[in-house]
Structure 1
Amino acid sequence: MLAAEAGVRPSTASGHLRKLTERGLLEVLATGRYRYYRLAGPDVARLVEVIGRLAPAQPVRSLREGTRAHALRLARRCYDHISGRLGVAVTDALREHGLLEGPDSAPDLANVSGDRLSVRVRDEVDYRVTEAGHDALAALGVVLPPKLGAVRCCIDWTEQRYHIAGPLGAAVLHAFDSAGWITPAPTHRALRVTEKGTAGLREHLSITWPPSNPTRLEPGRHR
């Protein structure tokens, strides 16, 4: 299945998986005659996101590819937290409701000249859960880690805005999943917001989903 998704031969996919596993980027779990691969940890997930932001856009060659790319941009799972437009919308809503303190947007990367390190563009920033935020998040079923300090946020590679990650991001993903607000796509890491999730997002976070103006990728290109 992985080879078919990547458009390569099974032997090629097996070779790449073996190399990535040997170098500690992937973990493999053997169950019967099946082998399941996953990222080795959150550091690897962040690496994949950074590469996604820096990689050039790829051509869309079919309706299937375009549909999948659009689904990934709307909402996806980034290792242990939510990213895409949904992740950014949740982060913005938490800040706007006074539950989270931190920057309101990412740097304007379109106006950055030269490489991002030389101009001090920060890919990650720290937010903080407010006193009101602890109670409101608990009411949403979000189990906050004990002694939660700074909340890590990183730039979303499709939206170029911050979304919550780290322990709080993982707790929000778990809460949404447990409440039946989101379901995973069967073959890739896109997430689908359920009817229950649509109602919950509107009631608790004032988020209208799906977005009234969903961003469609330009024909022929996708991230």
Structure 2
Amino acid sequence: MVTVAALARTAALVGDPTRAGMLAVLMDGRALTAAELARAANVTPQTASGHLAQLVEAGLLAVERQGRHRYHRLAAPAVARMLEGVMAVAAVPAAAPPRPTGPRDAALREARTCYDHLAGRLAVAMTDALVARGAVELGADGGALTPQGEVFLRGLGVDLDGAARGHRRRVFCRPCLDWSERRPHLAGTLGAALLATGLDRGWLRRSAGSRAVAVTPGGRLALAQAFGAEIFACACREA
């Protein structure tokens, strides 16, 4: 059982702007060096080192050594879920009219990575399409792939066998509250496999230095054929 003190410590760690910035950069599932995270947070390497040590000690980050370099990544999908949840709460509009946001913010709302799966308007629309066609059943805390869904996703080339193997270590299928859409997109190893298929087939393309994901012209055609053209009602960017 989580104690109040432990909850407060975790909240304090995430609540620091520098540490929050580092955690947000890692939300796309990458592993980055301390120097890269220092640049992302706009702090000195020495300052970054102290913050990273605290995050590692608290179990929010994990460190991997490769050659001379040490790479930091989110310690578990649960950390990404926590951050996405905080983002959803932080995005609730204030009483005052919302300030206009720039193109980069718009791109993140349209399609982005949420740790190892797809998020944003496109992800929510794809999830809605999967539920509507009876491919996926989603509840408040979990989900399941139906037999029809297995046939459909295998036809798209999604590695369901790999997703099932990953299920031994984490949840296979579950809803994840989208911070910008306030509705669920697909997460778990199934959501990760769906994103991997989009990237491997060239339907989706990561944006350098950002969590934003763009849809390629070929991807727009393939995804519209598979999920229905209405998933692009959000006018997602093309790569």
TM-score of the two chains, using structure 2 as the length reference: 0.68
Match of 2:157 among 121, 136, 141: 141
Query: Where does residue 90 of structure 1 map in the other structure?
Result: 126
Query: Where does residue 194 of structure 2 map in the other structure?
Result: 172
Task: Determine if the alignment matches structure 1 residue 79 to structure 2 residue 115.
Answer: yes
Counterpart contact for 1:49–1:157, Cα < 8 Å: yes
- SS where residue 125 of structure 1 aligns? coil
Query: Where does residue 85 of structure 2 map in the other structure?
Result: 50
Task: Determine if the alignment matches structure 1 residue 20 to structure 2 residue 52.
Answer: no
Counterpart contact for 1:93–1:207, Cα < 8 Å: no
Q: What amino acid is aligned across from residue 46 of structure 1 in structure 2?
A: R
Determine the C-alpha separation between the residues in 2 that align with 1:209 and 1:129.
20
Determine the C-alpha separation between the residues in 2 that align with 1:99 and 1:56.
30
Counterpart contact for 1:201–1:208, Cα < 8 Å: no
Determine the C-alpha separation between the residues in 2 that align with 1:31 and 1:84.
33
Query: Where does residue 11 of structure 2 map in the other structure?
Result: none
The structure showing larger relative contact order (alpha-carbon pairs under 8 Å, at least 6 residues apart) is 1
* C-alpha deviation, 1:6, in angstroms: 3.0
Query: Where does residue 41 of structure 2 map in the other structure?
Result: 6
- SS where residue 142 of structure 1 aligns? coil
Against the structure 1 CA distance between its residues 151 and 52, is the aligned structure 2 distance closer, same or farther, given a 3 Å change threshold? Answer: same
Gaps of 5+ in 2: 1-35, 94-99
Determine the C-alpha separation between the residues in 2 that align with 1:14 and 1:86.
36
* C-alpha deviation, 1:83, in angstroms: 1.0
Match of 1:156 among 175, 178, 182: 178
Against the structure 1 CA distance between its residues 187 and 205, is the aligned structure 2 distance closer, same or farther, given a 3 Å change threshold? Answer: same
- SS where residue 142 of structure 2 aligns? strand
Between 1:6-15 and 1:143-152, the stretch displaced more is: 143-152
Determine the C-alpha separation between the residues in 2 that align with 1:167 and 1:83.
14
Q: What amino acid is aligned across from residue 47 of structure 1 in structure 2?
A: M
Against the structure 1 CA distance between its residues 130 and 38, is the aligned structure 2 distance closer, same or farther, given a 3 Å change threshold? Answer: same
Query: Where does residue 109 of structure 1 map in the other structure?
Result: none
- % same residue: 43
Counterpart contact for 2:172–2:188, Cα < 8 Å: no
Report which of the two has the higher share of helix. Answer: 2
User: Would you say how many aligned residue pairs link Structure 1 and Structure 2?
Assistant: 189
Determine the C-alpha separation between the residues in 2 that align with 1:175 and 1:146.
15
* C-alpha deviation, 1:180, in angstroms: 1.2
CA deviation string 1:72-110 (max 9, x = no partner): 21111111211111210110111122212346xxxxxxx
* C-alpha deviation, 1:33, in angstroms: 5.1
Q: What amino acid is aligned across from residue 199 of structure 1 in structure 2?
A: L
Q: What amino acid is aligned across from residue 74 of structure 1 in structure 2?
A: E
Q: What amino acid is aligned across from residue 163 of structure 1 in structure 2?
A: H
Task: Determine if the alignment matches structure 1 residue 131 to structure 2 residue 131.
Answer: no
Determine the C-alpha separation between the residues in 2 that align with 1:5 and 1:211.
33
Determine the C-alpha separation between the residues in 2 that align with 1:150 and 1:42.
12
Gaps of 5+ in 1: 104-123, 215-223
Counterpart contact for 2:172–2:190, Cα < 8 Å: no
Against the structure 1 CA distance between its residues 9 and 57, is the aligned structure 2 distance closer, same or farther, given a 3 Å change threshold? Answer: farther
Determine the C-alpha separation between the residues in 1 that align with 2:131 and 2:56.
38
Against the structure 1 CA distance between its residues 212 and 191, is the aligned structure 2 distance closer, same or farther, given a 3 Å change threshold? Answer: closer
Over the aligned positions, Cα root-mean-square deviation in angstroms equals 2.8
